[in-house]
Each structure stands twice: as C-alpha cells, then as structure tokens.
Amino acid sequence: MAKKEKMLEDLFHETLKDIYYAEKKILTALPKMAKAAQSENLRAAFEKHEGETKDQVERLEQVFEIINQPAKGKTCDAINGIIDESQEVIKEFKGSAALDAGLLASAQAVEHYEISRYGTLKAWAEQFGLQEAVNILGETLEEEKKTDEALTELAKAAVNQEAEQAAE
C-alpha cells in the first residue's frame, strides 16, 4: 500500500504539536530562570511570562479542538536546545554581573522561536479559513512580540548596563 502524501494540514498539526511541547517545556524552565535572576525586574518579567504561558497553553488546546485533534506535544529539539543553553548560563555565570544579561538573551531566543512558530501557524490557519484559530494564534503572537519588546527594554534600561559597569 502506498504511503499517503503529507499535506499542509499535516504540517500545521505537526507544528502545533511542536509549539505545544515547547510551551509546556517553557513552563518548567521559567521558574528556574526567575529563581536564578538577580534583578527584581527580570524576575518579575519571568513570573509574568509564566502566567501568560499558562494561558497560551490553554489557547493551543482550543486550536487542537478546532482541528478535531487531541492536544498533545511532540519533542521540540529547538526549544530543548535553547533551554539547555539557558541552564548552562545559569551554571556558568552564577553570581556574575553578566548572569541577568545571559538570562535575558536566553529568554529572547525563546521569544523569537515562539514568534516564528505562531506567525507561521497563524498564516496557515488563515489559508485554511480557520478564523477562530487565526484569532487565537494572533493573540498569542502579539503577546510574544510584547514580551520580546519588554525584554529588550529591560536589557537596554538596566541589565546590560549593570553587567558592563560591573566589569569596569
């Protein structure tokens, strides 16, 4: 029997499973990053994003319902690698003025990955005419962009300067 050709709908579902796994993995990493952060503002940003991530997981579950598929993830090597790198930063820079800058950079790598995934999923949902999914994915995409912007501002306003001044 010939193998069924994979379609864009299959890719959408696989990518949805990927980001679902990623979001759940991020939920386990954020408390560790918050605990390691030296800056109160950075710790607060991680804690805020943890709450948002819980909402994003719930939204993904709604998208799975829309496409009549069970909400389940599949291993995402990309997010595993980014999170592993953040754990290395925590270990290697513990007690260093550069720790928070490293944590911020790791968090932005996560955000950029999420932005790329949600942007792609939203575009595909638009192509399929899944307006409810478009709205849900678009809401999360905007949250991820705002989080990235907030992290950039935090880096510019304080964290990077503090790391540099400590080196002088």
Q: Is the dihedral of CA 119, 121, 127, 133 positive or negative?
A: negative
What pLDDT, on a 0 to 100 scale, did the predictor assign at position 154?
86
What pLDDT, on a 0 to 100 scale, did the predictor assign at position 112?
96
In 3D space, the residue among 51, 22, 40 whose CA is nearest the CA of residue 147 turns out to be 51
What pLDDT, on a 0 to 100 scale, did the predictor assign at position 58?
97
Give yes or no for a contact between 114 and 144, defined as CB atoms under 8 angstroms apart: yes
* Percent of the chain predicted with pLDDT > 90: 78
What pLDDT, on a 0 to 100 scale, did the predictor assign at position 163?
53
What pLDDT, on a 0 to 100 scale, did the predictor assign at position 167?
53
Q: By 3-state DSSP, what share of the chain in percent is helix, strand and coil, each rounded to 5?
A: 85, 0, 15
CA dist 4 and 2 (Å) reads 6
* 32-88 residue pLDDT tens: 999 999 888 889 999 999 999 999 999 999 999 999 999 999 999 999 999 999 999
What pLDDT, on a 0 to 100 scale, did the predictor assign at position 131?
97
Q: Check whether 165 has a pLDDT greater than 70.
A: no
Q: How many CA atoms lie within 13 A of 166 on its CB side?
A: 13
Give Cβ neighbours of residue 38 (< 8 Å, ≥ 6 apart): 99, 100
What pLDDT, on a 0 to 100 scale, did the predictor assign at position 3?
80
Burial class (CB in 10 A: 0-12, 13-18, 19+), 54: middle
Angle, to 10 degrees, between the axis of helix 8-36 and the axis of helix 99-128?
160
What pLDDT, on a 0 to 100 scale, did the predictor assign at position 97?
80
What pLDDT, on a 0 to 100 scale, did the predictor assign at position 136?
98
